[in-house]
Every structure is written in C-alpha cells, then in structure tokens.
Structure 1
C-alpha cells in the first residue's frame, strides 16, 4: 500500500487578512467620528466611511479607512502643550490629562506650575522646555519618574533639581531644556501637602 504524502499545513494568513472583531470595527468608527469633529473629513465622507467600517471583514479593509488620519490619542500626534504665566500665572495638573511629547512653560510675570502627578503618559521621554522669566516655573513629577537637565541653561535664577534618580522601568524621562531666566526653574517630586491631597483624593 503506497503511503500518502502528508497534507501541507495551512499557511497563516497575513496580518491584514485576519478577521476583524466588533471591537476593532467600533474603534475605527470612533476614530472616524473624531476626525469629522476636527474637520479632517466632511459629513458625506464620514457616512461613507462609517458604512464601510461596519461592513469590513478584515484588518486590511479597516486600515484603508484611517490610513490618511492621525492615530487617535497618539501622544506624538498631539500638538505641544504651551503654558504662559502672563500677569496672573498658569498651571496644569495635578489630575488626569494626556501628556504630549513636547511641553513649553514660560513663567512670565505670574509664574507657571506644571504637575505631572496622575497624568496619562505613554511616552518613554517627554521634552519640557521651561523658561523661568520673571516669576519662575515649577515642575512636579511622580517619584518613579526621572529628569535629564543637561540641556538646561540655569540663567540668573538658577535651576533647582530636587528629584531622585530612582526611575522605575517603563516610566517616562523628562528631558528638560530652556533657561532659568530671572526667577529660575524648579523640578521636584510632590511635597508633603501635595501628597496629603493626593491621598485624600485617590485616583
């Protein structure tokens, strides 16, 4: 009896040909709606793409619908965050906000406080450009984060780095540049009062 040759094992489908799930389609629908709200596509195109998204069967079919759109929520696609102290000061945080790849803080006459505690950050590094100017800039980072200040010009006001080098794996590095100006720049971890407030308001 002649032995039959073994049947060839099925080849895995290319990634683009894998079947899309309901969640995959819903994620694309949300991205398309956000794009329309931002004025990237008009309402007629939105309707057309939504219809295609809901009937798409594979990843490749879904990818075509968002190929010309920035990735939703991608920190690299977010515009820089710019804080200007002006006459009355400015602040951001603490709280739950998305950290972009580039932040600019200008102390002006009123000062700026930039607090990264409890932020959502998916970047390995964040470029922070701080200019103390007349009233100074204060930056607060979580205990697990670290900072590189080698690109910073202390100016007349100086740079005070009160952080520890105990950076945990997978946490961001703040790469600080700019100038201390007249009033200086301070980067530190939360103080006693700030820690008390954080404990009293759990995330």
Structure 2
C-alpha cells in the first residue's frame, strides 16, 4: 500500500433519507397537506396551528414526515378519474389520438364495430394503466407511444388472437399498459403508431 493510499480521505457516508435537510418546497408541500387535512376534518384548527408552526421550522425530512404520518397519502388526480368504458356497438368507438386524460382503468368492448384506443397524445404520470379489452366480433386495437410498454400476460387470446407489436424499451416515467380480458372472435392488437399515424402526428404536433 502506497503512502498516497493512507492519505486519501474516505468518502463521507451518505446521511439517512430522514436526516436530509428539507427545502422550502418540502415545507410548503407539507403545509398544503395539513391545510387540506383540516378542511377535510381530519385535524382540528388548534392542531393545525401547532403542526403548521412545526412544519415551518422543520429542518429535516424526518421532522416533516412525522407531521403527516397519520394522514392518508394524497392520490394523483389521474388516479381519481372514473373508469373509461368504450363500446364498439354497431358503428365502432374511437378514443384519441387527440389529447385526452387517461384514467387508470379502461374497459373496451369491441362489439360489431370495433374499438380503437389511441394513447399517442396522452401524457400520464400513472405507473400503470389497466386496459380490459374484449375483442368480441370486430376486435380492439390499442396504440401506445414509443417508449411505452405493454404487459399482455393477463390476456386470453380467444379465437381472434392477441398480437403484441410493441417494443420492450420503456422510458422512465411512462406508464405500463397492462392488458387483460379476451380476444374473442375479433382479437386484440397492441402496437405503436404506424407510418400513417406518425405522419398525422408530425403534421399536428400540438
């Protein structure tokens, strides 16, 4: 071992997450949660004042976490959206490709006219979106952007089959499309945009 090895300082161990210093934004986030909890009747006004004072003077994440430990974790607004139900009926049903807010649960019945769900312009912070697809007579097509991936292990291919034409390369922060249901007679397809759809997206970037 050389002399330099003895003189090289060892890196300082990382502080536990709870001991990390809180920022102004961290404190503001807790203050908002406490105020919402008071509005919902979870804590009374005296307790609110006490917790707010402690929140504004907290120095670490652990001190802030203690103030909200007995409160429910707030849901993302997308998780509160009701399920989207699409029924192909006689004339078919299409959702997208314009901008739309996707819920965490989508149910599609292909019927006679078929259903197409196009997530090409959806921006979602959800970790997963469950698509329960029933191909029935004319099938269901699910289009997802590049960088999104699909899990089809929960699908029954039925007579019409299941065709997964997606790539496994998932970008960070994108939702997983989890498919369930049955292909029925018409089958279920999940894929990325085709050439024609890509041209339309390029022509209308908004």
Q: For residues 183 and 62 of structure 1, do their structure 2 counterparts lie closer, same or farther at Cα, with a shift above 3 Å needed?
A: closer
Q: Note the C-alpha offset of 1:66.
A: 4.7
Other structure's SS at 2:199 match: helix
Other structure's SS at 2:39 match: helix
| Residue of structure 2 equivalent to 1:157 | 160
Partners of 1:106 and 1:188 lie apart in 2 by 18
Matched, 1:184 2:187: yes
Partners of 1:104 and 1:164 lie apart in 2 by 23
The counterpart of 2:117, out of the listed 114, 118, 123, is 114
Other structure's SS at 1:152 match: strand
| Residue of structure 2 equivalent to 1:36 | none
Alpha-carbon deviations, 1:123-169, whole Å to 9, x = none? 01111100000010010000100000001000000001111111111
Matched, 1:171 2:174: yes
Q: Note the C-alpha offset of 1:62.
A: 4.4
| Residue of structure 1 equivalent to 2:86 | 83
| Residue of structure 2 equivalent to 1:96 | 99
Q: For residues 73 and 19 of structure 1, do their structure 2 counterparts lie closer, same or farther at Cα, with a shift above 3 Å needed?
A: closer
TM-score relative to the length of structure 1: 0.68
- Unpaired runs of 5+ residues, structure 2, are 1-20, 43-73
Aligned pairs, number: 152
Partners of 2:39 and 2:154 lie apart in 1 by 41
TM-score relative to the length of structure 2: 0.67
Q: Give the alignment's Cα RMSD to 1 decimal.
A: 2.6
Matches within 5 A, 1:137-156: 137-156=140-159
Q: For residues 129 and 62 of structure 1, do their structure 2 counterparts lie closer, same or farther at Cα, with a shift above 3 Å needed?
A: closer
Partners of 1:152 and 1:145 lie apart in 2 by 18
- Unpaired runs of 5+ residues, structure 1, are 1-11, 21-57
Alpha-carbon deviations, 1:156-193, whole Å to 9, x = none? 00001111111111111101010000010011000000
Q: For residues 134 and 19 of structure 1, do their structure 2 counterparts lie closer, same or farther at Cα, with a shift above 3 Å needed?
A: closer
| Residue of structure 1 equivalent to 2:39 | 65
Other structure's SS at 2:137 match: coil
